[in-house]
């Protein structure tokens, strides 16, 4: 839609109205990220001052969020995680078309909890990775894994999901998983990793995965920013 160029005030209001319509039409999905101020200015042929006035108007209406160093996003944009499909946490992000990344934090052998000793033995591998979308932390993951994965170069593994690494090393695919989701308050470690104040509400996903044919594949706990993430469960009527 062409702008009516009567005066500067009319211009920024017209741009704000057009962007508002595009937000409502979900044009900026799946990431929720709007173009940069320069890109918007080039699109409409206006100065950055006019663009900022338009974005100020949308921000005042609660339609967008400006994140320092990250860009401008539609307000309340949440990543969705379907619970009716067996996917790793990272794969679920990537398949939504998101700019998803993982940052390895630590990996080392630890004493195995009693309930996993039958599958993992007295010691197992603990891996901690930070999950990011558009460079912003969304989840802190801690996984307990079979000791056979100790030699894995987790820095070199890059963005490869744990399920893929398990199949490569152990030679068996993951066949099922039990998942529990609950709410909790972020402790100091979780809050620091996710960029939240201590005690902020987070979602906690507890996942136990099982190999095809039996045997625990992993026990992972993810602490997730609740304002950026939602879990979806679909049901089909079988009447």
**Who's near 23: CB < 8 A, 6+ residues apart?**
58, 63, 64, 74
* Share above pLDDT 90 across residues of the chain, in percent, rounded to a whole number: 53
b or e along 118-144 (b: 16 or more beta carbons within 10 Å of the residue's beta carbon)? ebbeeebbbbbbbbbbbebbbbbbbbb
Tokens 């049901």 belong to which residue? 235
Higher pLDDT, 165 or 238: 165
Q: What is the distance between the alpha carbons of residues 163 and 151, in angstroms, rounded to a whole number?
A: 16
| pLDDT of 34 above 70 | yes
| pLDDT of 8 above 70 | no
Over range 46-69, report the average pLDDT: 87
pLDDT for res 61: 81
Q: What is the distance between the alpha carbons of residues 194 and 214, in angstroms, rounded to a whole number?
A: 34
pLDDT for res 135: 82
Are 41 and 47 in contact by the 8 Å Cβ rule? The answer is: yes
| pLDDT of 189 above 60 | yes
pLDDT for res 100: 79
State the chain's mean pLDDT as an integer.
86
Q: What is the distance between the alpha carbons of residues 141 and 131, in angstroms, rounded to a whole number?
A: 7
pLDDT for res 187: 96
**Strands 201-211, 100-111: parallel, antiparallel or unpaired by DSSP?**
unpaired
pLDDT for res 96: 66
| pLDDT of 88 above 80 | no
Q: What is the distance between the alpha carbons of residues 100 and 137, in angstroms, rounded to a whole number?
A: 10
64-68, 86-90, 180-184, 200-204: range with lowest mean pLDDT: 86-90
Distance of CA 22 to the CA centre of its chain: 23
């Amino acid at each position: 839609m062409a702008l009516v160029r009567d005066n500067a005030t009319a211009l920024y209001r017209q741009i704000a109205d057009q962007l508002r319509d595009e937000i409502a039409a979900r044009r900026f999905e799946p990431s929720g990220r709007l173009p940069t101020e320069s890109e918007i200015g080039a699109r409409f042929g206006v100065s950055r001052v006019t663009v900022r006035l338009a974005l100020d108007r949308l921000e005042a209406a609660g339609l967008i969020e400006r994140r320092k160093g990250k860009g401008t996003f539609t307000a309340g944009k949440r990543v969705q995680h379907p619970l009716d499909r067996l996917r790793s946490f990272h794969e679920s992000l990537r398949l939504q078309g998101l700019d998803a990344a993982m940052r390895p934090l630590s990996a080392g052998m630890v004493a195995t909890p009693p309930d996993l000793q039958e599958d993992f033995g007295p010691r197992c591998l603990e891996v901690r990775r930070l999950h990011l979308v558009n460079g912003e932390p969304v989840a802190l993951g801690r996984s307990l894994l079979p000791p056979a994965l100790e030699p894995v170069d987790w820095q070199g593994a890059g963005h490869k999901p744990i399920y893929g690494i398990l199949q490569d090393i152990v030679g068996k695919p993951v066949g099922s998983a039990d998942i529990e989701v609950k709410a909790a308050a972020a402790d100091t470690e979780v809050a620091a990793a996710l960029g939240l104040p201590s005690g902020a509400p987070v979602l906690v996903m507890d996942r136990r995965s099982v190999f095809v044919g039996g045997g625990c594949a992993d026990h992972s706990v993810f602490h997730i920013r609740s304002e950026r993430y939602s879990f979806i469960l679909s049901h089909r009527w079988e009447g």
